[in-house]
Structure 1
Amino acid sequence: MAKNLVIVESPAKVKTIKKFLGSNYEVAASMGHVRDLPRSQMGIDVEHDFEPKYITIRGKGELLAKLRKSAKAADRVFLATDPDREGEAISWHLVTALKLDEKKMRRITFNEITKNAVKASLKNPREIDMNLVDAQQARRVLDRMVGYQISPLLWAKVKRGLSAGRVQSVALRIIADREKEIEAFVPSEYWTIDADFSIPDTKKPLTAHFYGTDKKMNLASEEEVNAVLGELEGVDWEIAEVKKGERTRKPPLPFTTSTLQQEAAKTLNFSTSKTMRIAQQLYEGVDIAGEGTVGVITYLRTDSTRIAVEADTAARQYIGEV
């Protein structure tokens, strides 16, 4: 029997992490959240400091029984759920649902599923971060209160099946306000004049933009443009000065969750759900010839652009080799 139990969220991670840790570790998955607010009622005691009332999610009973048995037989239990507020809350719920002995329970996190990252996390276990747990609970409670109290109003007054939410309702208001600004916009006609000049010893022509004489001249009609062109016709042109300089273009920053979704939508026409599904697979691990199942990206839900030292070193080494 393994002496240590490691509990992760997704079953896809189990095989990869088990390979890194060896026979002294049993790796099991919680399959996401194990406790939540009941669907049949608000589940929040508004009169007593908005205390949430959690129940075991339907269908998780058998899984929790297996995890409870494994945890009881283990010398140490490492909660290795995802390194964000949702993962922290899942670990906190697991402590209660599995009736874990806090003396042998520790929380570990890693931002990439690599052998070094996983083993390093085991050397630096910690307690559950209640600030993250409280942040997740606040989000969940707000979601429930807004959704359960406003959605029925939409059904009665607008259309049945509509929903309200902590984020989506605010986003809808921003979109509606912006649409009103667009509808109120009064377009005005404007024109520009550009001239292309050939410069000796250069391949590309120099494009000059018409500015005016003493001050900037706004061209509001075709008649004004033709009048300017008439004055310019047949005159001598002179390039008074050409300034040359260098510009430094920095490489793009590593993806955050939002920039990854934006780039995938723009370049590949992927939906948000497809992008996140593929990113989850890449994070949990893909089969690479000669290496087995390996995670190839860092944790996908992040607003940080920091690169891990290990990833930076590996990238530089690869570039040097090719």
Structure 2
Amino acid sequence: TAQHRAGSRTAPAPAPGTRSNSSTNPAPAPAPAPGTGATPAPSPGTKTTPNPLPNSPPMSDCSKDPCLASLEKKLDENKITWIKAKVEVVKCNFANGEYKPTTETKEVTVLSTPTGSERLKVENHFAEVAKANRELCLLKNLEPTLVVPEWWQVRDFQKPQLVIQYAELLSDGKLGKSRWTTTIPHYNKPKTYKPKFPKYEKGDTEAIFILNDNSKIIINAKNKTEALKVINALKQFINPKFLKNTKPPKIGERSGSYKKVKVVPVRCHFFSKGQQNTAPDWSLKLREKKKP
């Protein structure tokens, strides 16, 4: 019948590319709710940023917290930086038989904070060190021997005189450590004059030459001839008016009292007022020092 034929019709075939609604195919998965979907895998070479923890509080601003603001201020006030400072440095150079100081300016780094710096302290420190080094360099030109006028022990202290330092001459031409002094009363040459005082050999023969004001030259040499040679050489440096009416030197033996060595003059110091001034008016170097 027609009704029977209608009920027995077969369903049309599905269009190409469409799924059949047959009960044998599984139901499609529901779409994920917003925010719950899986995070896609990052592409190679990219950095991932970690997700914040749930309910994490936002970072606080130090300026809104009085305690933290005070700490931040203190840290800023004590912030350390470095600045440059120029200082003087002294070097001691040996040239032409004499030590001379030279000054160089160098740049150093010092600490600085917002409330001040170490610049002035460092500059003053270097200035003091430079002054000391300059003086020490000049002192290298002096023999480390204390000398005073010989006749400070007599009643009349204020006689001008030149004190000559003699040093031991070793067999190799170098100077030994021993020093002796010889005094010339009423020295008559200016500072600019370059005197040549005699070398001699010390010994037990003592010669004393007395000037007309009772000042003296005393020499201890190896024998009488040597002693007279030295005194006659030194007399030419005495003011002539103090040589008038003088007598020949007194000579005697002092057995075993003096070291027998050859000596040479190395420096001289002039005292114009004797004991009134313990520092000499001027000094002269009599022997060129070899460079060490």
Q: TM-score, normalised by structure 2?
A: 0.18
Task: Please say which structure displays the higher CA radius of gyration.
Answer: 2
Task: Point out the structure with the larger helix share.
Answer: 1
Higher share of residues assigned strand: 2
